[in-house]
Amino acid sequence: MRLNNKVALITGAGSGIGLQTALRFAEEGARIVAVDINEENGRETVEQITQRGGEAAYCRADVSSAADCAEMINFAESTFGNLHVLFNNAGIMDSRDDDAESTEEEVWDLTMNVNVKGVFLGCKYGIPALRRAGGGSIINTASFVAFIGAATSQIAYTTSKGAVLSMTKELAVRHARENIRVNALCPGPLRTELLMKFLNTEAKKQRRLVHIPMGRFGEAREMADAALFLASDESSYMTGSELLVDGGITAAYVTPE
């Protein structure tokens, strides 16, 4: 198994990419710390894993809270002994997010607190745990919009994912000699509840789909497979990189010089 004897902490594990990654990592032998602010969803993830014969434990955390992030790392180590994989996946996409003129400051601040500060705090408290374990892999969820922007305006979300990408690269350089790898998973448009709530009309969905060469939304399970590669030793010579899993959308819009 590709993650045998590894402990993986996944934020936003109650739904979407986080849920599918928790299930996928458990299939490959990892013991899972499922972190989510929604207790019902988080516990349901744990139940699904244990029903399939895996090991998992739920920890409630608001990733924008330093105290909660410190506690989730403590929980991982006290429950399973070590931490080897940290997947900073929790994020939001507020339906009120629009262009710079229309987006309220409240929406901007909320998005930055969860999507950017949450990744920072996860790394702040998670890196010492990975160091204690002798190294490991950090995966931060960014997005294709960090490269090309979005056809449907979402200024706060797009900016937050650009910040995650930059943060990932700096952390990778800083910790490369400690056997701590840091990479960004950059999904394209996915058929998840998060995006479908934002693309809440058929016109919005079609406006996004027309730009995707493969002609469909991605699936959360496909992102989980990509995260598995980044978590496993198969990506052992990979750090500071962005793994675009986007149906070809960035290739269609990034013109070579």
At residue 131, the pLDDT reads 98
The verdict on whether 125 is a catalytic residue reads: no
At residue 254, the pLDDT reads 61
At residue 166, the pLDDT reads 98
At residue 257, the pLDDT reads 47
**CB-CB neighbours of 21 under 10 Å:** 33
How many angstroms separate the CA atoms of 234 and 202, rounded? Answer: 39
| Burial (0-12, 13-18, 19+ Cβ within 10 Å), 154 | buried
Which domains are delineated in the chain?
Answer: 7-252 (3.40.50.720)
Beta-bridge partners for 152: none
Rounded to two decimals, the pTM is 0.94
**CB-CB neighbours of 203 under 10 Å:** 9
Catalytic-role residue among 58, 125, 157, 237? 157
User: How does pLDDT run along the chain (257 residues), one tens digit per residue?
Assistant: 999 999 999 999 999 999 999 999 999 999 999 999 999 999 999 999 999 999 999 999 999 999 999 999 999 999 999 999 999 999 999 989 999 999 999 999 999 999 999 999 999 999 999 999 999 999 999 999 999 988 778 999 999 999 999 999 999 999 999 999 999 999 998 887 777 776 777 777 777 787 889 988 899 999 999 999 999 999 999 999 999 999 999 998 765 54
Strand stretches in 64-107, DSSP E: 85-88
